Structure 1
Amino acid sequence: MGINHFMTRVLVCIGFICINFCAMAQFSQNKDNELILGTVDSLFSKTLNEQREIWVHLPEKIEDGKKYPVIYVLDGRGHFHTVTGILKLLEKWNLPKSIVVGISNTDRTRDFTPTNVPFQRGHKSETSGGAANFLTFIEKELKPFVESKYPIDTMSTIIGHSTGGLFVLYTYTHHPDVFDNYLAIDPSLWWDKEKLVKQSEKLLSTSTYQNKPLYVAVANSVGVDTVKVRKLRSEPTEMLRANLNFHDILVKNKGHIEFTWDYQGSEDHGSVVVPGMYNGLRSLFSWYPFPERWRFNTPKAYTAEELTTPFYTHFEELSKRFKREVKPDWQFINDVGFFIVTSHKLPKKAQAYLEMNLKYYPEESKSYVAMGDYYVMIKKKDEAISHFEKAIAIDGNKEAQEKLKKLKK
């Protein structure tokens, strides 16, 4: 069919979702009162020689010109709802608004396994070993396709469970530059007699993995403690054993690897998915929350520097992570500044916030209008006139012209 641009609505019944996250996911609502979580899109892969379906969720109220991080979810049909629900619950303050791309399966064993094992655990798996091809599809075809159609940022995350988790760790160990964040849930590292684990001994000893956060959630489906299980050789215990062996390698290389190991001994292979995704996203984006933002509620407890310096530090870190300049919201900073001067009567501390907008938005005439208004409030006429004139010089700001005229009278 070639690359195709058809888009069909995915109408998801909230009653179908068995977790509370998605009960909140009122992302958009049409005239028939149907809740819409995303769209189904499709592209033809020359690498895989087949049409591949993807499910795409966009944030609510997309801002013109703004781009968003993208989260690629393996086993898309199974995990799309969970990830979008978690985002709905946590986005804005704990997680950045993101685009979710769920990748549907055609031959799961083929795509997620890095080596060919024709017969495994009593099942035929002749097509296994296609992980390299599947990664080529994602990197060379899917990512450019998504970038061409949706407002995605440079930051990307991949999530996979079970054999999907194996693929996540294959990508992390062999091609760490493809994604920025890696989330593997109870990965099937037992595959091919732990071959990927053995390869990791050498691969992870290099410094290639700096600034590539990894989160691994591991369940205990067999009820054997982590000390005894290392001595066993039974098939049911091989997954936990392999995962523990991989953990040992991560610990050896903790000096240059940023990883979180989340052992959830009370969960099994199926139940670990939801807590693994929740904890994993919180872990990978642990740098995103900004609790110091709320100091303005009790400004008397802090100096002006203590109120505003955390903003400069935090947004410098965000800019490094997103690989572009990230600024605090202009309106938020402006509102806080005037809140502190009107409600708390602390003009110097309010001024520190308004000066922040001058620093981050020097090209915006409104930054100078706001500062002019501040100086009018504290009865510093000359400073107010100076800032209104600066606003007018930028773009002829009409509001500034009116205020300047009134001041000069």
Structure 2
Amino acid sequence: MKPFIISSLIFTGLLIGLFTPVLAQGDDLPVRDQKKVVITSKILNEKRSLWIYTPVNYETSGEKYPVLYLLDPDQNFAYVTELERFLSDRYRIPQLIIVGIVNNDRVKDFTPIHSLIFEGKIDSNLRSTGGGKAFLSFVKTELIPYINKNYRTQPYRILSGHSLGGLFAMYCKEAEPDLFQSEIVISPAIYGGNMEILGRFSAFLKAHPKLQGNLSVSLGDEPGGKLAVDSLVNQLKSFAPKSLKWQYNSFLKEDHFSVGYKSMYEGLRFIYTDWFINPQDTSVVRSYQDIKTHFQKLSAQFGYDIQPGEDFMNECGYRQLNLGHVDRGIEIFAQNVKNHPNSSNAYDSLGEAYYIKGNHKVSLAYYKKSVLLNPGNKSGKEMIRKIMAKL
């Protein structure tokens, strides 16, 4: 095969067929934005801090993203945002906006029922319990509308809660079953008077025979929490409708404090079980039509229009070029330009494919567009000089 230059790309350093390209901006670190925002809640009569993470190239992509709402971010924001990057970079999940809801009083916010009884004894640390209803109202009528107004969001939301946060997530599913499309419930602390939620969960499931979404429940090696979680799981086994997809993971090598990482990883993989398609597998990705069919199925499953990501399409296109299927590569690159009209890299790749095909005039036009969008594209400028010398 005639060798070609893959511009505006770096390589994994692994030999897969020939090379597997991944998007980069020179040698710069990928652009990720994490910021703190403070909003005033009229419902809670207090200020609430939010930690908001937006994925790579959010500011320039123009795309919309699903949102993961994360309770107790002081404990898990760092590793959850890294999991988002790790999994989305490998096409296992979509890129996500992550909203960490910082606590003022988690005992109050996460408990829907006031109860001082914990493990059969009165616990004075629980004196502020019972604010779950107000907190849910804040999330529904103030927080989510704020995020939807100020960020580009898709109509798909995930709620993740650990310990008392897991209790709140279960309460939220019962009280507002359509507010979140998926929940990740990690070692839920279902205790005392709040056992009432567990006691009425089977009736809730029976009353909602068309309940949708995904529910991931997990527990570490926690004898004190096992009875409640076993009850929850048995109710799901007996009464959950087929339209509700759920799983239970028991991580016996983890305790209440270490179980979060594995639970979040498995929860995200469960929600997005069908997301992955391997751009290197030419028995699966033979042409753009295979990509289109896959993402049409995902769109139907998740309830909104889902387009393949720029990096994924770029890798698929270069895989076809590596195999000598230039026209198939051009078809994929052309669709990538259509989906991402502001991407210098997408135009650069299409220009390269036409150069390989021998259509230098068309190649030149796409390289010029790439450089116009990114004047720092040195390899694109070099290709323009090379092509003009031939014309």
Q: Does the TM-score normalized on the shorter chain lie above 0.5?
A: yes
Three-state SS of the structure 2 residue aligned to 1:114 is: coil
> Contact 1:112–1:163 (CA<8 Å) still a contact in 2?
yes
Matched, 1:311 2:312: no
Shift of 1:316: 0.7
Matched, 1:182 2:175: no
Three-state SS of the structure 2 residue aligned to 1:85 is: helix
Query: CA–CA distance in 1 between the matches of 2:123 and 2:311?
Result: 59
Query: CA–CA distance in 1 between the matches of 2:334 and 2:35?
Result: 43
Cα separation, partners in 2 of 1:70 and 1:208, compared to 1, 3 Å: farther
Query: CA–CA distance in 1 between the matches of 2:303 and 2:92?
Result: 19
Per-residue CA deviations over 1:170-211 (Å, capped at 9, x if unaligned) read 111221111111011000123426211111010012446643
Query: Which deviates more from structure 2 when the two are superposed, residues 158-167 or residues 111-120?
Result: 111-120
Three-state SS of the structure 1 residue aligned to 2:161 is: strand
* Structure 2 counterpart of 1:344, from 303, 323, 326: 323
Per-residue CA deviations over 1:27-56 (Å, capped at 9, x if unaligned) read 65xxxxxxx862211111111111111111
> Contact 1:160–1:184 (CA<8 Å) still a contact in 2?
yes
Cα separation, partners in 2 of 1:315 and 1:246, compared to 1, 3 Å: same
Cα separation, partners in 2 of 1:357 and 1:40, compared to 1, 3 Å: closer
* Structure 2 counterpart of 1:98, from 96, 99, 121: 96
Cα separation, partners in 2 of 1:144 and 1:351, compared to 1, 3 Å: closer
* Structure 2 counterpart of 1:58, from 49, 54, 57: 54
Three-state SS of the structure 2 residue aligned to 1:295 is: coil
The count of corresponding residues between Structure 1 and Structure 2 is 328
Query: CA–CA distance in 2 between the matches of 1:249 and 1:271?
Result: 26
Query: CA–CA distance in 2 between the matches of 1:360 and 1:52?
Result: 37
Query: CA–CA distance in 1 between the matches of 2:316 and 2:243?
Result: 40
Per-residue CA deviations over 1:106-127 (Å, capped at 9, x if unaligned) read 2212111121214444312333
Three-state SS of the structure 1 residue aligned to 2:200 is: helix
Equivalence for 1:67: 64
| 1:3-402 equivalences in 2 (<5 Å) | 38-62=34-58, 63-92=60-89, 93-120=91-118, 121-124=121-124, 125-192=126-193, 194-207=195-208, 210-222=211-223, 237=224, 239-252=225-238, 253=240, 255-291=242-278, 293-296=279-282, 302=283, 307-329=287-309, 333=313, 336-337=316-317, 340=320, 343-346=322-325, 353=332, 377=357
Shift of 1:328: 2.7
Query: Which deviates more from structure 2 when the two are superposed, residues 315-324 or residues 240-249?
Result: 315-324
Query: CA–CA distance in 1 between the matches of 2:313 and 2:165?
Result: 42
> Contact 2:115–2:129 (CA<8 Å) still a contact in 1?
yes
Query: CA–CA distance in 1 between the matches of 2:30 and 2:192?
Result: 39
Query: CA–CA distance in 2 between the matches of 1:108 and 1:339?
Result: 49
Query: CA–CA distance in 2 between the matches of 1:38 and 1:319?
Result: 28
Three-state SS of the structure 2 residue aligned to 1:213 is: strand
> Contact 2:187–2:217 (CA<8 Å) still a contact in 1?
yes
* Higher CA-based Rg: 1
Question: Which amino acid counterpart does residue 247 of structure 1 have in structure 2?
Answer: V
Equivalence for 1:33: none
Query: CA–CA distance in 2 between the matches of 1:41 and 1:347?
Result: 48
> Contact 1:27–1:59 (CA<8 Å) still a contact in 2?
no
With structure 1 as the length reference, what TM-score do the two structures score?
Answer: 0.69
Residue ranges of structure 2 left out of the alignment (5+ in a row): 1-28, 366-387
Query: CA–CA distance in 1 between the matches of 2:47 and 2:194?
Result: 32
Query: CA–CA distance in 1 between the matches of 2:331 and 2:80?
Result: 39
Cα separation, partners in 2 of 1:240 and 1:37, compared to 1, 3 Å: farther
Per-residue CA deviations over 1:118-141 (Å, capped at 9, x if unaligned) read 444431233322211111000100
Query: CA–CA distance in 2 between the matches of 1:114 and 1:313?
Result: 44
Query: CA–CA distance in 2 between the matches of 1:317 and 1:200?
Result: 31
Answer 1 or 2: which has greater strand percent: 2
Cα separation, partners in 2 of 1:84 and 1:27, compared to 1, 3 Å: farther
Residue ranges of structure 1 left out of the alignment (5+ in a row): 1-25, 29-35, 223-236, 297-301, 389-405
Question: Which amino acid counterpart does residue 85 of structure 1 have in structure 2?
Answer: E
